[in-house]
């Protein structure tokens, strides 16, 4: 199971999508469980979510397993009755003997919403996850006129994905993820959320060491695409886990794929001329993270070959790619690469400037 955070942080969208689609095919009713607020130390935050069916099966996790069983019981009641319900768990006051016995210290408020016949509002959320454009969502926690759980979802490009009756005016001019907006004297409380598509990772190179990167990216719920100029590599069953695979001549990367459609690109072809062509193609892109496998000397040689064009990669190129985690070997290097991409996606730290001191462990990255 995995966290569903529908803002800019973490969300295993493919797992939720698969569970949603499977349940719909089997005609199993579902409830969306959405965190509407927290206090103190909690496993999840406002906007995190999960899906539960009428028999207690679920996808997602809001408490590391502490509350999911109790949530499944409440979800069954909400599904049977329809509509929505709210719950609050004060884990700091939880009694070890007579309470849930979870031993946590925070408070978590949740809303359970029975999905309608069309699967809304999660069906619309899922459309955003599968697309390329982010969206805003507003959902009623309490109102004297609108039912609890009523939601509106509008893309930042203006696309209206879903709007329950009377909700189109709920979205503010600049919604803030996880914020609860209260109307003065009106008794209305609305949760504002940001929805974002699954992060897209483009890997340039399809050698054996790409496989653990793909596995980790898949576990994190990222969209993955692999491109390589060697047919035997790109057609290998070993990289079949990738969402998409392309046979691409490096010099024609821009014509075959749109790098700007991805959040991050990692170059790991182990072929000097190919990596040079990939970097040159990426100088005209706007992708914010470009990870380059290999040691500092190789990176500097490639940048030197690009001449003045290398300036277009400033602030975007991370080479050697990844975070120093102290490991060696394909699996450990894959972990460091994925950690570097995750750090960038989370906005925790900028891309290390080319020419900055290299991490000692990342000097071990293999290269040709």
Three-state SS string across 109-139, please?
A: EEEEEECCCCCCCHHHHHHHHHCCCCEEEEE
pLDDT level of residue 219 (50, 70, 90 thresholds): confident
Last residue of a domain, one of 133, 160, 195: 195
Looking at every residue in the chain, the average pLDDT score rounds to: 84
Give the pLDDT confidence score for residue 204 in this predicted structure.
Answer: 96
Q: In angstroms, rounded to a whole number, what is the distance separating the alpha carbons of residues 76 and 96?
A: 25
Say if residue 104 is in the same domain as residue 44: yes
Structural domain ending residue among the three candidates 138, 162, 195:
195
Asked if 27 and 107 sit in the same domain, the reply is yes
- DSSP H stretches of helix in 34-184: 68-81, 122-130
* Residue 262, domain member (yes or no): yes
According to the model, what pLDDT value does residue 240 have? 92
Averaged pLDDT, 224-239 = 93
Looking at mean pLDDT, say which of 1-10, 154-163, 165-174 comes out highest: 154-163
Query: 256, 247, 341: which is closest to 290 by C-alpha?
Result: 341
Residue 123 has pLDDT above 80, yes or no: yes
Flag whether 31 is in a domain: yes
**For residues 332-357, average pLDDT:** 75
Q: What is the CATH number of the domain that holds 244?
A: 3.40.50.720
CB 352 within 8 A of CB 292: no
| Percent of the chain topping pLDDT 70 | 86
**How many residues are present in the chain?**
368
Q: How confident is the model at residue 357 (pLDDT cuts 50, 70, 90)?
A: very low
Q: Is the pLDDT of residue 42 over 80?
A: no
Task: Please give the order of strands across the beta sheet that includes 189-195.
Answer: 160-163, 151-155, 135-142, 189-195, 179-182
- Reported pTM: 0.75
Could you tell me if residue 302 is inside a domain? yes
User: What's the rounded mean pLDDT across residues 66-77?
Assistant: 89
Residue 149, pLDDT > 90, answer yes
Q: Indicate whether 360 belongs to any domain.
A: yes
Least confident of 30-34, 95-99, 108-112, 127-131: 95-99
Residue-level pLDDT at 93: 57
The CA distances from residue 208 to 54, 180, 184, 342, in Å, are 42, 47, 60, 22
When pLDDT is cut at 50, 70 and 90, the band that residue 362 belongs to is very low
Q: Is the pLDDT of residue 77 over 60?
A: yes
Same domain, 288 and 266: yes
The encoded tokens of residue 238 equal 């070993």
Q: What percent of the chain has pLDDT over 90?
A: 56
pLDDT of the residue at 355: 38
The whole domain housing 283 covers 200-364
- Are 114 and 68 in a shared domain? yes
- Taking residues 150-155, report their average pLDDT: 94
Distance CA 197, CA 182 (A): 28
Tell me the pLDDT band of 102, cut-offs 50, 70 and 90: very low
128 and 219 fall within a common domain: no
What is residue 17's predicted lDDT score, i.e. its pLDDT?
87
In the chain, the number of structural domains is: 2
Measured distance CA(171)–CA(193) in Å, rounded: 10
Of 207-216, 229-238, 349-358, which range is least confident?
Answer: 349-358
- Report yes or no on 2 lying in a domain: no
Indicate whether 272 pLDDT > 50: yes
Assess if residue 206 is contained within a domain.
yes
């Amino acid at each position: 199971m995995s966290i569903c955070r529908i803002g800019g942080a973490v969300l295993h969208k493919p797992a939720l999508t698969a569970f949603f689609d499977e349940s719909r095919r089997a005609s199993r009713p579902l409830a969306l469980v959405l965190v509407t607020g927290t206090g103190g130390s909690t496993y999840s935050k406002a906007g995190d979510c999960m899906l539960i069916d009428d028999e207690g099966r679920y996808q997602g996790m809001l408490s590391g397993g502490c509350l999911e069983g109790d949530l499944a019981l409440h979800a069954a009641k909400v599904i049977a009755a329809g509509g929505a319900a709210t719950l609050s768990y004060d884990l700091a006051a939880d009694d070890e003997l007579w309470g849930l016995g979870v031993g946590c210290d925070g408070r978590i408020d949740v809303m359970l919403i029975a999905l309608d016949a069309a699967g809304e509002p999660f069906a619309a959320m899922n459309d955003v996850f599968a697309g390329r454009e982010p969206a805003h969502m507003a959902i009623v926690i309490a109102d004297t006129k609108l039912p609890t759980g009523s939601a509106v979802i509008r893309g930042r490009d203006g696309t209206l994905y879903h709007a329950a009756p009377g909700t189109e005016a709920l979205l503010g001019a600049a919604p803030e993820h996880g914020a609860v907006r209260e109307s003065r004297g009106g008794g209305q409380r609305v949760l504002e959320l940001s929805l974002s598509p699954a992060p897209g990772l483009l890997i340039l190179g399809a050698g054996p060491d790409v496989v653990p990167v793909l596995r980790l990216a898949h576990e994190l719920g990222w969209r993955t695409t692999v491109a390589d100029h060697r047919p035997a590599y790109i057609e290998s069953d070993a990289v079949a886990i990738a969402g998409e695979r392309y046979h691409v001549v490096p010099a024609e990367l821009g014509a075959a794929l749109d790098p700007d459609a991805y959040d991050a690109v990692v170059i790991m072809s182990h072929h000097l001329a190919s990596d040079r062509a990939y970097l040159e193609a990426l100088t005209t892109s706007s992708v914010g993270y470009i990870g380059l496998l290999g040691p500092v000397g190789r990176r500097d040689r490639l940048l030197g070959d690009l001449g003045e064009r290398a300036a277009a990669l400033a602030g975007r190129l991370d080479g050697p790619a990844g975070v120093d985690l102290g490991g060696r070997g394909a699996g450990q290097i894959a972990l460091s690469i994925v950690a570097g991409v995750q750090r960038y996606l989370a906005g925790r730290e900028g891309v290390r400037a080319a020419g900055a001191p290299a991490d000692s462990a990342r000097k071990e990255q293999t290269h040709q």
